[in-house]
Amino acid sequence: MIGMTKPSAAVPAVDLPDEAAYLETVAQARKAADAYYGSGESGLDDETYDRLLRGITAWEEEHPGQVASDSPSRQVGAGVTTGDVMHTVPMLSLGNVFSDEELAAWAASLERRLGGEAVAGWAVEPKLDGVALAARYREGRLVQLVTRGDGATGEDVSHAVGDITGLPATLNEPVTVEVRGEVLMTEAQFADANEQRTAHGATAFANRRNASSGSLRAKDRAYRVRQTFLAYAALTGPEHTDDAGLAALTHTQLVARLAGLGLGTTAGTPVATTACATLDQVVARVREIGVLRPELDFELDGAVIKADSPADQDRAGAGSRTPHWATAFKFPAAQKITVLRAVEWSVGRTGVIAPRAVLDPVDVAGTTITYATLHNPADIARRGLMLGDHVVVYRAGEVIPRVEGAVAGLRTGDEQPIAFPEVCPRCGAGIDRSQERWRCERGRVCGQVEAVRYAVARDALDVDGLGEKIVVQLVDKGLIEDFADLFTLTRDQLLTLDRMGEKSADNLMAAIEAAKTKPLNRVFCALGVLGTGRSMSLRIAAHFGSMQAVRDADAADLEQVDGIGGEKAPVIVAELADLAPLVDKLVAAGVNMIQPGFVPPASGGADPDAGTTAGTAGGELPLAGLTVVVTGSMTGPLAERSRTEMTELITSAGGRASSSVSARTHLVVAGENAGSKLDKARSLGIETITPEELAERLGGLLGGEN
């Protein structure tokens, strides 16, 4: 699977046993295409539509004399949309391949079209998931925008001029050119579009392509929607001037030239158009794009492979629907359509009441999804969701599945409103609705058991033997109100619990006593401060060195910590004020409130964010200044280390632990079953080492880290 750890199988074609089934499938595909190319809202996800189209094509190849006149396989955009502006050169679609084998077969067919000669070179770029658009410039000034339509004619959408980033009103040079590319929405633009749309009483868009298509065509709205344009082609030839000097450029050079004119392109992104000399390099680049896909600010559903040379393109030519010199390698779908059956409401350790969607099971990017996040009640209202809705579920990489929105066109009238809780689902107390994230009015008191379980978990205080059943008994018997009370428990109190023997009580007392000596970052993590977790707790502890310094810090001080911005800092300050009684109890119980090895900048000159350790303040730490990602299962001397312990170890060695691989990563520690993060590191040329090699590099630090 591209972007995963094993090869992808081709998307199977739907089986069509006879002409009746064929005609029914043609009608189904055309209905979906009409919605897709019209409003952008289709009742079929991409993978299902691809299966229909492959089945239609396969049947037509076997029955060439029985091809339906309205078959979507024969026309650009399935022939369902037209406009009033003629394209001087048709805007074609791309054919698809779904596996390495299909790509190799397509490349071989292209070489046959070139008379058996090898392709001079390849260009690989992302297949953008948006709306095709032609932008016409005259002497450097933008004069018209035209959609692809049916490929022959398109719709004039020049009213959108000024709303699209990447389409400047004036180019950097006074050239006359028609630029072609894709209009799409970034995640922030999509959120803004839906916020404006629902504020004006309309139903939220189900997904970004839906939003982009609908917004591009909309006229006379009371609000403006921002979108983004990324160029990938430009017209030259008898019908067009070439004062921009584009005709002789390879495709790779062309995209760079368009960027130089001031147009939006993928240049500067991790998936920028790349030249490849061999098909093996093409396959490797396609895999790279698949790995990078989850981190991009725009959506793509595959990679496009093109003959880079304009001479090869001219010789290969084009058919009525697709060019012969380019194809698209489709990735496994990151979004699917399924049915929203129910909404469950849970209460977290801080009293936050969170909704979760219960879905008809659906396979998305290789994982069966039954549940997806809905964020908060305000998000449900903005998206206009109802029980029984067909909804778009999105998942890419390791991202938690989320519901993008409802496909309003598939509603039957039987859908039911989602019931919001009137009281706290756990304790029955009132609900604080003053913010988008609703909370039980009792706050952390409502989540006592969850808060204690979080505090004693392995990533925090790591109290072995203190499971949920014991925590529930301690709370129910009134022996503890919060996790600080654990440190004042007596052996006799523990012996009053069900199934608690003397040996178990002794072991638990020893584990609680050991928790007193955990480093500050573990103690801070145990507090469960909103907006923090194990990684942020470590950065805060490494920056300030003591709990007292953290408590004395104001919002401006906290903003100096990597990852804490202007919105999060005041929340942390307010949380610490609320947690002051709990912290005081911890101090009184003798719990450690210092980060081991902390050296203040004034005394050691070291950067506390780098996690300077005692005894090494004057020397270079083995991971000083490096951003390190750990993936897979640790082996050798590090085999027993948890992920939190690995993060602490990296920090103590002067590095910065990160959970994702990017161009800013310096080192990846790849254990057993490392998976896609290792693939991505290799594709980006990042140094990778084994856990054993890391242990050797760290040397004596392994013995002094908590």
**Contact of 442 with 430, CB cutoff 8 Å:** no
**Contact of 189 with 181, CB cutoff 8 Å:** no
Q: What is the DSSP letter of 380?
A: H
Considering the candidates 6, 31, 127, 477, report the single residue annotated as catalytic: 127
Q: What are phi and psi of 157, to 5 degrees?
A: -120, 35
Specify which residues 354 forms β-bridges with.
346
How would you class 607 by CB atoms within 10 Å of its CB: exposed for 0-12, middle for 13-18, buried for 19 or more?
Answer: middle
Enter the tokens of residue 17. Answer: 């046993």
Closest CA to 650 of 611, 592, 700: 611
**Contact of 486 with 560, CB cutoff 8 Å:** no
End-to-end CA distance of the chain: 40
Q: Report the b/e string of 320-344 with b at 16+ CB within 10 A.
A: ebbbbbbbbbbbbbbbbbbebeebe
Task: Give the Å distances, CA to CA, from 343 to 162, 353, 478.
Answer: 40, 12, 33
Could you list the beta-strand ranges (E) of 75-121: 85-86, 95-97
What's CA 390's distance to the chain center, in Å?
Answer: 22
127 flagged as catalytic? yes
Q: How far is Cα 197 from Cα 238, in angstroms, rounded to an integer?
A: 44
3-state secondary structure of 484: helix
Could you list the beta-strand ranges (E) of 260-394: 274-276, 300-307, 326-330, 335-347, 353-364, 367-373, 386-387, 390-394
Q: How far is Cα 223 from Cα 202, in angstroms, rounded to an integer?
A: 12
Angle, helices 520-527 vs 534-544, to 10°: value is 130
Active site members: 127
